[in-house]
Structure 1
Amino acid sequence: MLWKRCPCVVQRSVRKFCRAAFAINDPKALQELQHEFGRYEEALCQNNVKELDLLFHKSPETVRYGVSENLYGYEAIQAFRGARAPPGQREILRSALTTYGSDLGVTHIEFQRDGSRRVGRQTQTWLRTAEGWKVISAHVSMMEEAT
């Protein structure tokens, strides 16, 4: 039985299953995700709320945890974006974008806003829908200062 095996055997079995079940970082899917993430980043820095709204999945199941807000559902996310002050420019310090198969991807970045010593972290889960790649889950947090 799998559960009685050594944890390292279980991890190897899971990795083997995952590779067989879907391609990790399929070049075409990864390029598409990178493009959509670029659209998101540009819209965020320019405070293009209309574009940001287009990039989130219009669903009550879409969730965004921010630095000081928890938003459940597309409508709550849309209302938050429309009411907040422009976040301003930021520099991406580190990024990791990964696709799983052709329809699911995650983005992880560390960023720093102009004039700030604090470092932010952002994770997004993206799903290919009939309307294209959409953010279905997002989380943003801040550390006190760069390490």
Structure 2
Amino acid sequence: MIVSDPAAHAEVTAAFHAYERALMADDLVALDALFHDAPTTVRYGVGEVLYGIDEIRAFRSGRGGSPPRRLGRVHIVTFGTDFAVAHAEFFRGAGGRRGRQSQAWVKLADGWKIVAAHVSLEGDHA
């Protein structure tokens, strides 16, 4: 298995940045196209736990967009040519509160799709 195959890495990196643009534009159609359309897709957010694409879509449609943010460090690793993980730091608001995002990407017949995602903000503890 090739770790960080250059071609696969470039594809996932492009998909990751397409996701970020869609997120900041609240482009629900583009966001929907980047997530795997399945009941097995999971997204854990800052304040929500979503199982299946239907819950993810419902959350997005009712949210009114993501709070503005700027990306910090982005780390993407591919494993073979069909699986990747993406990790990113982001910063929200004037104070620059740091958040973290992890995504599992799988290359399916219709392109690279997020099959699992997790978002958290630093300082949010139970």
TM exceeding 0.5: yes
Residue-pair matches, total: 124
Consecutive unaligned residues in structure 2, runs of 5 or more: none
Q: Report if the CA contact (8 A) 1:46-1:88 is conserved.
A: no
TM-score, length of structure 2 as denominator length = 0.94
| Other structure's SS at 1:109 match | strand
Letter in 2 for 1:137: A
User: For 1:30-62, what per-residue CA distance to the aligned partner results, in whole angstroms no more than 9, with x for missing partners?
Assistant: 000000001000000111111001100011100
Instruction: Specify the alignment match of 2:63 in structure 1.
Output: 84
Consecutive unaligned residues in structure 1, runs of 5 or more: 1-21
Structure 1 49/116 Cα, relative in aligned 2: closer, same or farther at 3 Å? farther
Instruction: Specify the alignment match of 1:113 in structure 2.
Output: 92
Q: Report if the CA contact (8 A) 1:117-1:144 is conserved.
A: no
Which one has a larger percent helix, Structure 1 or Structure 2? Answer: 1
Percent identity over paired residues: 44
Query: Whole-Å Cα distance in 2 between the matches of residues 76 and 104 of structure 1?
Result: 24
- C-alpha RMSD of the superposition: 1.3
Which one has a larger percent strand, Structure 1 or Structure 2? Answer: 2
TM-score, length of structure 1 as denominator length = 0.81
Instruction: Specify the alignment match of 1:97 in structure 2.
Output: 76
Q: Give the structure with higher Rg (CA).
A: 1
Q: Quick one: higher RCO (CA 8 Å, sep 6+), 1 or 2?
A: 2
